Amino acid sequence: MSDGDRTRTSYHHGALRRALLDGARDLLAERGAAAFSLSELARRVGVSTAAPYRHFTDKDALLDALAEEGYMAFHAGLEAAARAAAGPGDRIVRLGVVYLRFAEETPALFEIMFRDRPGRPSGPATFELLVTAVGQAQDAGALRSGQPPVVLARTIWALLHGLAILVGQGGFGKLGIDEPRERLVAESMAAFLRVRPEV
Amino acid sequence: MSDGDRTRTSYHHGALRRALLDGARDLLAERGAAAFSLSELARRVGVSTAAPYRHFTDKDALLDALAEEGYMAFHAGLEAAARAAAGPGDRIVRLGVVYLRFAEETPALFEIMFRDRPGRPSGPATFELLVTAVGQAQDAGALRSGQPPVVLARTIWALLHGLAILVGQGGFGKLGIDEPRERLVAESMAAFLRVRPEV
DNA sequence: AGGGCGATGTTAGAGTCGTCAACATGTCCG
DNA sequence: CGGACATGTTGACGACTCTAACATCGCCCT
CB-strand contact B169/D, under 7 Å: no
- CA of residue A184 to C1' of nucleotide D9, angstroms: 53
Using a CB-CB cut-off of 8 Å, the residues of chain A touching B194 are none
Where residue B176 falls (left for φ over 0; alpha for ψ -120 to 50; beta otherwise) is: left
CB B95 within 8 A of CB B56: no
Q: What is the mean pLDDT of residues B16-38?
A: 97
Q: What digits encode the pLDDT tens for the residues A29-71?
A: 999 999 999 999 999 999 999 999 999 999 999 999 999 999 9
Nearest to B175 among A124, A155, A187 (CB): A124
* Cα-trace Rg, chain A: 20
Q: How many CB atoms lie within 10 A of CB A80?
A: 12
- Provide the pLDDT for residue A181: 86
Q: What digits encode the pLDDT tens for the residues B47-102?
A: 999 999 999 999 999 999 999 999 999 999 999 999 999 999 999 999 999 999 99
Distance (Å, whole) CA B151 – CA B131: 9
User: Are the Cβ atoms of B191 and A192 closer than 8 angstroms?
Assistant: yes
Give the residues across from B143 on adjacent strands.
B193
- Provide the pLDDT for residue A174: 56
Q: Is the pLDDT of residue A145 over 70?
A: yes
Using a CB-CB cut-off of 8 Å, the residues of chain B touching A154 are 172, 175, 177, 188
Give me the percent of chain A exceeding a pLDDT of 90: 75
Residue with more model confidence, B9 or B15: B15
Taking alpha carbons only, the member of A43, A24, A21 closest to residue A32 is A24
State in Å, rounded, how far the first CA of chain B is from the last one.
52
Using a CB-CB cut-off of 8 Å, the residues of chain B touching A163 are 158, 162
- Provide the pLDDT for residue A12: 74
Give, as one character, the DSSP assignment of residue B174: G
Q: What digits encode the pLDDT tens for the residues B97-152?
A: 999 999 999 999 999 999 877 656 557 789 999 999 999 999 999 999 999 999 99
Please name the residue ranges forming H helices in A32-85.
38-45, 59-84
User: Are the Cβ atoms of B161 and A157 closer than 8 angstroms?
Assistant: no
Q: Is the pLDDT of residue B175 over 90?
A: no
Mutate to test the interface with A, among B174, B177, B183, B187 (most CBs of A within 10 A): B174
Domains along the sequence of chain B with CATH: 3-56 (1.10.10.60), 66-193 (1.10.357.10)
Give, as one character, the DSSP assignment of residue B49: T
User: Are the Cβ atoms of B190 and A146 closer than 8 angstroms?
Assistant: yes
- How far, CA to CA in Å, does A89 sit from each of A100, A102, A197? 17, 21, 8
Give, as one character, the DSSP assignment of residue A121: -
- Provide the pLDDT for residue B3: 38
Q: What is the mean pLDDT of residues A166-181?
A: 68
Distance (Å, whole) CA B88 – CA B90: 6
Q: Can you give the pTM of this predicted structure?
A: 0.91
- CA of residue A57 to C1' of nucleotide D15, angstroms: 19
Which nucleotide lies at the shortest CA–C1' distance from B51? C9
Quick one: pLDDT band at residue A82, thresholds 50, 70, 90? very high
Q: What digits encode the pLDDT tens for the residues A102-131?
A: 999 999 999 999 987 766 655 778 999 999
